[in-house]
């Protein structure tokens, strides 16, 4: 009996000490973790918007982001919503489920975030969040378009759980570079998206301005990327088409 009591007490003390110390550390590290996550998103956004320079310090990233990137929230019809704060990470609920599922148009009050690079009152580039299924995981990223709202000026993925060396190559520069100057609209102004080919883009049967080379061993991830680009750009189409009309 005494023995049991000792064992119980011993276990209780160990559990208490471990959990106490851990929660102490977790609390202490939390601000640094959140800051690191935010900074990572800001850095990725600056990168797609063409504002990032190699070797930029953390402070510099924050400063440039604050001064040169405009955060906006729009609704499904493309109207700017004044009183909402933009979400850098595609939030599951606020951003409506549309990003993932089929684009139903009957949820007019859903909110979409986007990020614009404006210089002297002129739009230089804008970035929209991307979200969609890859092979193992949901891919999160940003797609940036030039001020014609039709030409890709950058793409990045900041969160995914794809196979390193295969699907995870989507977060590598060599893959993302191929998207530059691709068109998401065809000649008639219809949404085409950018297709990630299986193997070489030249042999994919899609026009070269709408397709990029694929990654061997990562066809399903690539198909996911193709799908999510088309899907997410469609979501933002009402807003984007305003820039197209102005030209």
Contacts with another protein, residue ranges (CB under 8 A): 3, 6-7, 10-11, 14-15, 18-19, 21-22, 25-26, 29, 32-33, 36-37, 39-40, 159, 161, 164-166, 216-217
Distance between CA atoms of residues 70 and 84, nearest Å: 13
Six-digit token pair at 33? 């973790």
Q: Which residues pair with 139 in a beta bridge?
A: 132
Distance between CA atoms of residues 44 and 31, nearest Å: 20
CB closer to another protein, 45 vs 73:
45
Burial label for 90, CB within 10 Å (0-12, 13-18, 19+), is: buried
Asked if 184 contacts 194 with a C-beta cutoff of 8 angstroms, the reply is yes
CB closer to another protein, 44 vs 117:
44
- Smallest gap from residue 204 Cβ to another protein (A): 21
Q: Give the number of other CB atoms < 10 A from CB of residue 99.
A: 23
- Smallest gap from residue 110 Cβ to another protein (A): 29
- Smallest gap from residue 10 Cβ to another protein (A): 6
Asked if 224 contacts 131 with a C-beta cutoff of 8 angstroms, the reply is no
Distance between CA atoms of residues 9 and 5, nearest Å: 6
Q: Is the dihedral of CA 158, 159, 160, 163 positive or negative?
A: positive
CB closer to another protein, 19 vs 107:
19
CB closer to another protein, 85 vs 173:
173
Q: Is the dihedral of CA 186, 190, 191, 195 positive or negative?
A: negative
- Smallest gap from residue 94 Cβ to another protein (A): 23
CB closer to another protein, 55 vs 205:
55
- Smallest gap from residue 36 Cβ to another protein (A): 4
CB closer to another protein, 133 vs 159:
159
- Smallest gap from residue 181 Cβ to another protein (A): 23
């Amino acid at each position: 009996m005494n023995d049991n009591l000792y064992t119980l007490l011993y276990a209780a003390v160990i559990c208490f000490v471990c959990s106490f110390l851990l929660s102490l550390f977790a609390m202490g590290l939390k601000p640094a973790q959140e800051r690191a996550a935010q900074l990572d998103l800001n850095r990725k956004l600056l990168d797609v918007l063409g504002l990032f320079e190699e070797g930029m310090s953390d402070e510099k990233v924050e400063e440039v982001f604050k001064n040169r990137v405009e955060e906006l929230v729009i609704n499904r019809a493309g109207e700017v919503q004044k009183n909402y704060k933009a979400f850098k990470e595609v939030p599951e609920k606020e951003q409506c489920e549309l990003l993932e599922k089929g684009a139903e148009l009957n949820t007019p009050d859903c909110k979409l975030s986007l990020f614009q690079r404006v210089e002297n009152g002129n739009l230089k580039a804008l970035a929209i969040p991307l979200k969609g299924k890859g092979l193992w995981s949901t891919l999160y990223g940003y797609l940036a378009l030039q001020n014609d709202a039709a030409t890709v000026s950058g793409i990045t993925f900041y969160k995914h759980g794809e196979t390193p060396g295969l699907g995870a190559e989507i977060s590598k520069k060599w893959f993302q570079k191929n998207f530059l100057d691709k068109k998401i609209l065809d000649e008639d102004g219809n949404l085409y998206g950018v297709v990630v080919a299986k193997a070489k883009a030249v042999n994919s049967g899609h026009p070269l301005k709408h397709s990029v080379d694929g990654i061997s061993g990562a066809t399903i991830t690539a198909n996911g990327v193709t799908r999510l680009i088309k899907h997410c750009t469609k979501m933002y189409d009402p807003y984007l088409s305003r820039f197209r009309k102005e030209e």
